[in-house]
Amino acid sequence: VAYASSSSPAVNTAEAGVVVPATMKAWAYDDYGDASVLRLDEAVAVPAVGEDQVLVRVAAAALNPVDSKRRAGKFKATDSPLPTVPGYDVAGVVVKIGSKVKSIKEGDEVYGNINEKALEGPKQSGSLAEYTAVEEKLLALKPKNLDFAQAAGLPLAIETAHEGLERAGFSAGKSILVLGGAGGVGSLAIQLAKHVFGASKVAATASTPKLELLKSLGADVAIDYTKENFDEQPEKYDVVFDAVGNKLSLAAERPTKQQTPSASPDNASSFWGSGQGEKAVKVVKEGGSVVVLTGAVTPPGFRFVVTSDGSVLQKLNPYLESGKVKPLVDTKGPFAFSQTVEAFSYLETGRATGKVIISPI
């Protein structure tokens, strides 16, 4: 298979004494589609290393919904050409550095989200492979207390949680409602709001079995979305962080007495209707912010697309190393590299608790 950024001869990196092969094992797809388009390719070219990049020997990778949406062809217009090796999140060891790399050296244990702009030309050669090439500025040193599998689950999700809170102007003393608190992003939004930004009050939603988890992450109030409608509570928040979007329909698959639509067209449309956007804006204080990650946006809500930034990871490392902020790894995993299709199918149920990890690679 020919990839645009391929290098061919084996490279002997003198300092680390590591021989980088010309080809590697990687998951790849040639056409857009469901998880069945993925195939394990035993001989993909190891990506060339640009002058501002390092080559990482991947130890662990994490799956994100954006991998699935991209593979489904939702971002065709701005995607890199097929075939694609998917994967945004990586943790591993640096085995080669580009000529302009300043602070990372061979042998460093690093982690990061390899695509600076999630949807604008994501790399053709991603992290679900033995090697991936990444700009130095997108990486940080792996927190010392975390193993590669734990670290791999953090970058995209924690960058999204952090950027969303910053864009919403979140700060100490403010209150927040996190919709989707048990997911990859939500579990970190709760922790960052509480333990890094100094929230006065954190509320979050999940289904019944996950309510205790929300509390353990730092939520003061855990709302069971299968039993109560978050927008029917009197409380209003400075910020609503919506990591669920149009998945309201999933909740609708588990109707309860309170949620059953009445004959009133208004109720019916908010129950079956266009997602949580319009509900989220009902519970934000006047002048507050509603951050939306996916789906329709109702003013004053706003949506953004995450930017990868190693300096954000570096800034958060002390909170990770002190254990104030903890990675949440879904316990169905980590999945073996050979089980990547199963791991994607699991992620795509929308029921994962924290991150779906592939390790070792």
Residues of this chain that interact with ligand NDP (CB under 6 A) are 64-66, 118, 157, 160, 179-180, 182-186, 205-207, 210, 225, 243-245, 247-248, 250-251, 293-294, 304-306, 347, 350-353
Could you tell me the CA-to-CA distances from 322 to 36, 157, 195, 317, 347 in Å, in that order? 41, 19, 11, 8, 29
Encoded tokens for 7: 């290098």
Measured from the CB atom, is 13 or 339 closer to ligand NDP? 339
Which DSSP letter does residue 123 get? -
Encoded tokens for 257: 């007495």
Minimum distance from residue 349 beta carbon to ligand NDP (Å): 8
Residue whose C-alpha is closest to residue 115's, from 164, 184, 61? 61
Could you tell me the CA-to-CA distances from 336 to 245, 315, 360 in Å, in that order? 30, 31, 6
CA distance linking residue 336 with residue 333, whole number of Å: 8
Encoded tokens for 9: 């001869």
Alpha-carbon torsion angle 264, 267, 270, 271, nearest 10: -100
What does 327-354 look like in DSSP terms, one character per residue?
Answer: --B-TT-PBPGGGHHHHHHHHTTT--SS
CA distance linking residue 245 with residue 303, whole number of Å: 10
The SS3 assignment for 137 reads helix
- List the beta strands (DSSP E) in 88-209: 89-97, 109-113, 131-135, 139-141, 175-179, 201-206
CA distance linking residue 149 with residue 111, whole number of Å: 10
Measured from the CB atom, is 47 or 181 closer to ligand NDP? 181
Minimum distance from residue 208 beta carbon to ligand NDP (Å): 8
* Residue 220, Cβ density class (10 Å: 0-12 exposed, 13-18 middle, ≥19 buried): middle
Measured from the CB atom, is 13 or 226 closer to ligand NDP? 226
Q: Tell me the residue nearest to ligand NDP as measured from the CB.
A: 183
Measured from the CB atom, is 23 or 353 closer to ligand NDP? 353
Measured from the CB atom, is 199 or 203 closer to ligand NDP? 203
Measured from the CB atom, is 18 or 250 closer to ligand NDP? 250
Residue whose C-alpha is closest to residue 342's, from 331, 355, 356? 356
Minimum distance from residue 215 beta carbon to ligand NDP (Å): 14
CA distance linking residue 223 with residue 230, whole number of Å: 7
